[in-house]
Amino acid sequence: EDKVVQSPLSLVVHEGDTVTLNCSYEVTNFRSLLWYKQEKKAPTFLFMLTSSGIEKKSGRLSSILDKKELFSILNITATQTGDSAVYLCAVGVLDGSARQLTFGSGTQLTVLP
């Protein structure tokens, strides 16, 4: 059975801190790893990673994938209160003609002023 594990489950930091969120996986037919940010409603897309060792960056957020050790990290530098959200990791697998996503349970990040 495909499995995606995120850690920590929750994290409380102060504005300006740097955080690292972890995602490990065990899946068959791996195609990609995706990070989403979920505030109150729909998850919004952050990054998709398919190759090991290539960092993806968007502003203060960055992410990297290690396909040998089967994990990814999401870094957020100089955190702001607007970064407070649940961060979801999902692994894309190929099942027939559909690309499916298997989600982890998420990391709840709270950034205090």
Q: With CB under 8 A as the contact rule, which of the stretches 19-27, 34-42, 63-71, 72-80 interacts with another protein?
A: 34-42
Closest CA to 60 of 44, 43, 46, 79: 79
Residue 109 token pair: 């990040």
Q: 91 to 110, contacts with another protein by CB under 8 A?
A: 92, 96-106, 108
Q: Indicate which single residue of 1, 41, 58, 113 sits in contact with another protein (rule: CB under 8 A).
A: 41
Cα(113)–Cα(76) distance, integer angstroms: 16
Cα(65)–Cα(83) distance, integer angstroms: 21
Residue 46 contacts another protein per CB under 8 A = no
The residues of the shown chain that bind another protein, judged by CB under 8 A, are 4, 6, 31-32, 34, 41-45, 48, 88, 90, 92, 96-106, 108
